[in-house]
Structure formats: C-alpha cells, structure tokens
C-alpha cells in the first residue's frame, strides 16, 4: 500500500557575532574586508568546483524512474543507492534541496525492489547543512539479517527460471511470474508486507510486496517491468501494480487483485487472469497511478488472457456461448471463464445465463457427459471487467 515518509529537516545557520563598538567601527571593518577580498581576486584565479559525472545506469537494473530525474536528483539517487547497499548509517548527499532529495529517494525505491531492508514505510531523516545533507535511512534489517532473505529471493528466481524452457516468449515469462507470485503468497498484513521479503521469505504480503516481487523476478528474466503506486476504487489505503512491456506494447499486470481465492470458492490458489494484461480502458477505471512520474500508455489488448484463449466475445449470442462452454467441458474443464468487450453484451449474457437460469443447461450437459445424476455448480462475475465464471 502507499508508503508514508516523514522527513526531519535540520538547517544549520551560521552567524557572525560582532562586538558593539560603535557603528563607524563596524562599517570601516566591513569595507576593509571587502577591499582585501577584491584584491585577492585580482591576484589569484580560483577554479570553479566541479561534480563527478553521474552514471546513467548501474549496469544491472532498468531504473525506469531514474531516467526522469534532473541531474542533481540523479546524483542524489546514485549516492543514496551506494550508501544503502553498504548499509551506511548516514549517507552524505551533495545536495541541499529537500524536495529533490525526497523525489530521488522515492524513485530509487520504485526502481530497486531488491533493497527490501529500506522498504516498508520506515521513517527516514535528513540533516540539511549549508552545502550538503546527511541522510539517515531506517533499516528494517541488518546486513546479516538480510542475507537469508536474499537467499530466498535467489531460490525463487531459480524456481521460476527452471519452468521456463529456453526461448520462452516474454508473455510466457510474465504469466509464469504472475502465477508464481500468486501461488506462493497470501494477502496478509505483517511487518514485511510492503516489500519483497514478505513474498520470498514469508509468503505473506500486501500489494506493494506483490508488485515488488513481480518487478524483481521479471527484471531478472530480462523483461521490462515498472512498479506503479497509486489508488484504487476498491480500497482507501492505496494500491500497487506493474506495467510490463510485451513485444513492444505496455500492459497492466496486477498480481494482488489476481489473488482472490474466495472469489472462486475453490480449494488451492487459482489465479484470476482478469488482471493479467486487462483491457486498459477498464482497468484505468479501477486503478489510477500517482502523478509524480510519467508512465507509458497501455493501449494494446493482444495479450489479454481472454483474447489469447478465444474466450473474449464482441457480442452476445446464446448458442455461441453455449457452444463454447460445452466445448470446454469436452476438453475436461471444470472452471470456465468468458469476457465481453462491451457492457451491453455482458449484461445480456449475465441476464440469460445467471438471472434466466440457463446455467443449468450447462450443468446438465456436464452430467450427461460424465454419466452422473447430479452436480454442484456455481458462478462468479466481475462487472468492472465484464467477465463471467462457471464452475462445476
């Protein structure tokens, strides 16, 4: 969920104490000092101090948000990254712009999910001086405590990589990571719920942990993945998700909302693929990002789960829908999902299938093919994403 940071600003003001010896004495002293300085300037050319160039990449991570920073913010970002990786108690920043430092830190946390020891919304402090800032992070782990979590992170990556054959498509990587994070994580509020340690070391997290884990694994697999924070109409506490690049187009991926075991009333963890590359126009009515940073536009639907699997319908016809369900039953399916591209078709299908009771015809077909006298069936639906589920 959204992280809240508090910053403590200490500003050191340096003053010069002058004895009260009369106005003429003070004035003459000041003038004399000015003349001495001017004379020195004529004799000596003082070189202008220069900053070291800022590396545009760390050579490992994609750093999407880093690329949007001003040069002073990029320098702060690099200094913070170096200090946090070393678990420094205080990090010297060559900037005194309070807002710029905060922005650089927020960008750093979005880009570098592997820095789990400074995630989870801990307070940090800044002591801003005349020409530099001392930044004091709040570490949730010592360096020794972080080591076993990093071992768990590596094990998770190896487990995901092992099920991906050589030459796997980008979509296959995205879906495999989506399935893995959902299958290995329970949505539980805990002390590590906002970072990937909750997912990889404990199997418990909230949206920030889910989205962070997706980004971490996809980045390891070479897939462009962006961590996004914002709001959702389903919660007042903020939300986090991802934007991923599949074959040159950007798609939303929301593993948190894809993990809703009670929705299907089935045993085990069954992902909801409604949130794997959802239709962007529909998803943007559910979740909207913070506006601090620019994000790539999501417009394509080619890799939407329903589009890929031939279960997305651009109109409603009962015979077509019935034919789809019976064909799925013939293939051994017990869980069937369909999507509609417009609200009118979705409402017509819901009205006939659910309200009108024709779902019983699908159950009867199943009983006939299985040679059984009865079957328990139920359904679920998502009005926002125009999808219907039938479970036998």
Distance CA 222, CA 245 (A): 11
State which residues form the domain around 207. 142-305
Distance CA 239, CA 218 (A): 20
Q: Which long-range contacts (CB under 8 A, 24 or more apart) does 142-147 make?
A: 142/87, 143/87, 145/117, 146/116, 146/117
**Cα angle at 159 between 154 and 162, to 5 degrees?**
120
Q: Which pLDDT belongs to residue 234?
A: 82
Residue 340 has pLDDT above 50, yes or no: yes
**Mean pLDDT confidence for 287-291:** 96
Residue 5 has pLDDT above 50, yes or no: no
**Mean pLDDT confidence for 334-340:** 96
Q: Which pLDDT belongs to residue 163?
A: 97
Q: Which pLDDT belongs to residue 135?
A: 97
Specify the pairing of strand 125-128 against strand 133-136.
antiparallel
pLDDT per residue as tens digits for the range 179-193: 999 999 999 988 877
**Mean pLDDT confidence for 301-319:** 97
**Mean pLDDT confidence for 207-213:** 96
Could you tell me if 148 and 280 lie in one domain? yes
Residue 25 within any structural domain of the chain = no
Q: Which ranges of 93-230 would DSSP assign to H, the alpha helix?
A: 98-111, 143-162, 170-184, 196-197, 207-220
Q: Which pLDDT belongs to residue 34?
A: 34
User: Is the Cα torsion angle 246, 234, 263, 191 positive or negative in sign?
Assistant: positive
Residue 195 within any structural domain of the chain = yes
The most confident of the ranges 12-21, 119-128, 158-167 is 158-167
Q: Which two three-digit tokens encode residue 221? A: 């697999």
What mean pLDDT value characterizes the chain? Answer: 87
Residue 40 within any structural domain of the chain = no
Q: Which pLDDT belongs to residue 267?
A: 65
Residue 199 near residue 208 (C-beta atoms within 8 A) = no
Q: Which pLDDT belongs to residue 2?
A: 37
**Mean pLDDT confidence for 17-38:** 30
Better-predicted residue by pLDDT, 26 or 213: 213
Distance CA 201, CA 330 (A): 41
Residue 45 within any structural domain of the chain = no
Could you tell me if 193 and 288 lie in one domain? yes
Q: Which of 254, 283, 305 is the last residue of a domain?
A: 305
Residue 16 has pLDDT above 90, yes or no: no
Could you tell me if 320 and 173 lie in one domain? no
Q: What pairs with residue 339 in β-bridges?
A: 312, 387
pLDDT per residue as tens digits for the range 353-375: 999 999 999 999 999 999 999 99
């Amino acid at each position: 969920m959204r992280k809240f940071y508090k910053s403590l600003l200490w500003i050191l003001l340096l003053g010069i104490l002058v004895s009260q010896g009369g106005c003429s004495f003070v004035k003459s002293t000041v003038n004399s000092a000015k003349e001495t300085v001017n004379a020195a300037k004529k004799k000596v050319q003082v070189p202008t101090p220069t900053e070291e160039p800022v590396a545009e990449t760390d050579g490992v991570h994609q750093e999407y948000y880093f690329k949007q920073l001003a040069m002073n913010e990029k320098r702060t970002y690099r200094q913070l990254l170096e200090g946090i990786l070393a678990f420094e108690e205080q990090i010297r920043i060559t900037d005194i712009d309070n807002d710029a430092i905060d922005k650089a830190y927020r960008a750093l946390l979005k880009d570098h999910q592997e820095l789990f020891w400074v995630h989870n919304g801990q307070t940090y402090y800044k002591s801003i001086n005349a020409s530099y800032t001392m930044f004091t992070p709040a570490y949730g782990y010592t360096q020794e405590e972080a080591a076993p979590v990093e071992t768990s992170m590596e094990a998770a990556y190896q487990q995901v990589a092992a099920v991906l054959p050589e030459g796997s498509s980008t979509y296959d990587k995205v879906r495999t990571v989506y399935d893995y994070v959902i299958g290995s994580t329970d949505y539980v509020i805990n002390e590590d719920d906002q970072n990937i340690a909750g997912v990889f070391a404990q199997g418990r997290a909230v949206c920030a942990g889910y989205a962070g884990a997706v980004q971490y694994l996809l980045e390891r697999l070479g897939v462009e993945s962006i961590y996004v924070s914002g709001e959702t109409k389903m919660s007042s506490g903020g939300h986090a998700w991802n934007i991923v690049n599949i074959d040159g187009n950007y798609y939303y991926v929301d593993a948190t909302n894809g993990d809703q075991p009670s929705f299907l009333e089935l045993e085990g963890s069954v992902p909801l693929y409604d949130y794997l590359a959802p239709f962007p126009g529909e998803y943007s009515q559910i979740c909207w990002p913070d506006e601090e940073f620019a994000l790539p536009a999501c417009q394509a639907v080619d890799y939407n789960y329903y589009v890929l699997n031939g279960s997305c319908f651009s109109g409603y016809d009962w015979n077509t829908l019935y034919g789809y369900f019976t064909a799925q039953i013939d293939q051994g399916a017990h869980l069937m999902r369909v999507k509609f591209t417009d609200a009118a078709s979705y409402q017509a299908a819901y009205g006939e299938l659910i309200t009108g009771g024709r779902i019983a015809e699908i159950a009867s077909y199943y009983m006939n093919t299985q040679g059984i006298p009865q079957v328990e069936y139920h359904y679920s639906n998502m009005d926002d994403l125009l999808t219907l589920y039938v479970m036998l």
